[in-house]
């Protein structure tokens, strides 16, 4: 009985710590000013890097979005780096009518997004480098907002919001809620220096910062992490900070995973990246609390063996603490990004989220190889 009460008390302490952490995150988010993009004069040179592998379905739409950027055409270049695609990706890029579009191909023996981005960066002398993914369609103010954010705040790098698109069903709403919440966590982590997060679908940095950090020289062997690894290296090598661009006007839409298996593989890839990335005390603390709390909820019925039906009290309190904190966080994110319709699936998404954090978190500690676009990578 005593051991059961101690374990139950420890679980509740995790719940309280999680609740307080999320309340702190929300307060810090509200302190961040909203960034309003405006025309940049004179316009510094910018190159957008897009690494692409087997993106024939998406690449034309991506290029159309980049061609519509509200930025002086003479100062903007687009470089697509083809990573040995086996479909018509390269042919679509070559046929696309844009005066400042360049197609590069990774040479034999080199592969992966990091190699592709390094090749693209080496082919330009632009002041700023921006990256997005081939399945994304950045809004017209994206380049303008990122460049002005870098200049006005004197930043080494800037990461911006990424939001999901898809068919309006539970699978999409669950993923979209998770992504919206991650945007708040990313912003607060970078602003306070507590943890390093970012998304390569909306990333901007000074070319000099990229070169000073050595690009991906020390982590090319890890397939994922082109965003988090680079942000951490730039932040460590530069006197200038790395910040999140808090603006709904520059949010980059990207498709949600089309099915649960694709979602599982995607998040396992992300989890593997996070497990391999240099971890700060803040990162370990935040991820550890979320992971342990999720397992506390799932394993709480085992307390019946020690404390009888009192385990139900522990379970209810844990659910109230976690779901209460998560609802406030997601409501804050959805209100800012005008996605409040997603909250109609909060209860079911919360139940899924507990299992997702527990099992993906556990799997990412052990899995090192996975399939991605026809390749076995690690």
Q: pLDDT tens-digit profile of 19-68?
A: 999 999 999 999 999 998 887 788 999 999 999 999 999 999 999 999 99
Same domain, 9 and 58: no
Q: Are residues 177 and 324 in the same domain?
A: no
| Residues 12, 110 within the same domain | no
Kindly state whether residues 53 and 139 are assigned to the same domain: yes
CA distance to 16, 18, 182, 305, per residue, from 319 (Å): 11, 11, 20, 20
Q: Which domain holds residue 212?
A: 45-276
132 and 84 part of one domain: yes
Q: Tell me, yes or no, whether 203 and 86 share the same domain.
A: yes
In a domain, 93, yes or no: yes
* DSSP characters over 13-36: HHHHHHHHHHHHHHHHHHHSPPP-
Band the pLDDT of 269: cuts 50, 70, 90. Answer: confident
Per-residue pLDDT at 377: 56
* Cα–Cα distance, 334 to 320 (Å, whole number): 20
Provide mean pLDDT across the span 150-160.
93
What is the tally of structural domains in the chain?
Answer: 2
Q: Mean of the pLDDT values across residues 276-280?
A: 60
Both 178 and 285 in a single domain?
no
* Banded model confidence at residue 1, pLDDT cuts 50, 70, 90: low
Judgement on whether residues 259 and 293 belong to the same structural domain of the protein:
no
Residues 149, 285 share a domain: no
Residue 38 maps to a domain: no
CA distance linking residue 56 with residue 251, whole number of Å:
23
149 in the same domain as 69: yes
Last residue of a domain, one of 219, 254, 276: 276
Considering 255, 276, 297, which residue would you say is the last residue of a domain? 276
The verdict on 58 and 139 lying in the same domain is yes
> What is the reported pLDDT for 91?
95
39 occurs within a structural domain: no
CATH number, residue 205: 3.90.550.10
Percentage above 90 pLDDT, the chain: 60
pLDDT category, 286, cuts 50, 70, 90?
Answer: confident
Cα 167 vs. chain centroid, distance in angstroms? 21
Is 100 part of a structural domain of the chain? yes
Question: What's the CA gap between 37 and 143, in Å, rounded?
Answer: 9
Mean pLDDT of the chain: 88
In the block, tokens 């993923």 appear at: 175
Q: Which of 242, 276, 310 is the last residue of a domain?
A: 276
Whether 297 contacts 322, CB under 8 Å: yes
Cα distance from N-terminal residue to C-terminal residue, the chain = 45
Residue 36 lies in a domain: no
How would residue 197 be classed by pLDDT, with cut points 50, 70 and 90? confident
What DSSP string describes 197-261?
---TTSEEEEHHHHHHTTTTTTTTTSSS-TTHHHHHHHHHH-SS-EEE---GGGPEEEEPPSSHH
40: in domain: no
Question: What is the tens place of the pLDDT at every residue in 322-371?
Answer: 999 999 999 999 999 999 999 999 999 999 999 999 988 888 777 666 56
CA distance 59 to 91: 10
Q: Are residues 353 and 270 in the same domain?
A: no
């Amino acid at each position: 009985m005593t051991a059961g009460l101690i374990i139950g008390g420890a679980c509740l302490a995790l719940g309280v710590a999680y609740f307080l952490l999320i309340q702190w995150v929300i307060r810090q988010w509200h302190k961040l000013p909203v960034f309003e993009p405006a025309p940049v004069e004179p316009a510094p040179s910018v190159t957008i890097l897009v690494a692409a592998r087997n993106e024939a379905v998406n690449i034309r739409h991506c290029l159309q979005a980049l061609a519509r950027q509200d930025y002086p055409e003479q100062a903007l270049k687009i470089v697509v780096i083809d990573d040995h695609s086996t479909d018509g990706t390269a042919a679509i890029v070559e046929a696309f009518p844009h005066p400042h579009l360049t197609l590069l191909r990774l040479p034999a023996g080199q592969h992966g997004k990091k190699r592709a981005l390094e090749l693209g960066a080496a082919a330009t002398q632009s002041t700023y480098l921006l990256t997005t993914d081939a399945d994304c369609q950045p809004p017209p103010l994206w380049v303008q907002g990122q460049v002005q954010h870098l200049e006005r705040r004197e930043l080494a790098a800037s990461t911006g919001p990424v939001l999901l698109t898809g068919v309006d069903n539970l699978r999409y709403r669950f993923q979209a809620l998770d992504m919206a919440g991650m945007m708040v966590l990313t912003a607060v982590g970078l602003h306070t220096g507590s943890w390093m997060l970012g998304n390569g679908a909306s990333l901007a940095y000074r070319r000099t910062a990229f070169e000073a950090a050595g690009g991906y020289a020390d982590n090319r062997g890890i397939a994922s992490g082109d965003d988090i690894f680079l942000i951490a290296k730039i932040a460590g090598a530069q006197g200038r900070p790395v910040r999140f661009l808090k603006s709904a006007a520059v949010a980059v839409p990207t498709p949600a995973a089309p099915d649960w298996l694709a979602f599982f593989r995607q998040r396992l890839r992300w989890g593997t990246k996070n497990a391999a990335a240099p971890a700060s005390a803040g990162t370990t603390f935040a991820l550890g609390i979320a992971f342990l709390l999720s397992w506390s909820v799932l394993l709480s019925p085992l307390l019946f063996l020690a404390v009888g039906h009192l385990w139900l009290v522990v379970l209810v309190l844990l659910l109230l603490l976690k779901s209460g904190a998560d609802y406030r966080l997601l409501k804050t994110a959805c209100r800012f990004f005008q996605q409040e319709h997603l909250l109609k699936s909060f209860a079911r998404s919360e139940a899924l989220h507990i299992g997702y954090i527990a099992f993906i978190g556990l799997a990412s500690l052990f899995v090192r190889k996975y399939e991605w676009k026809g390749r076995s990578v690690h």
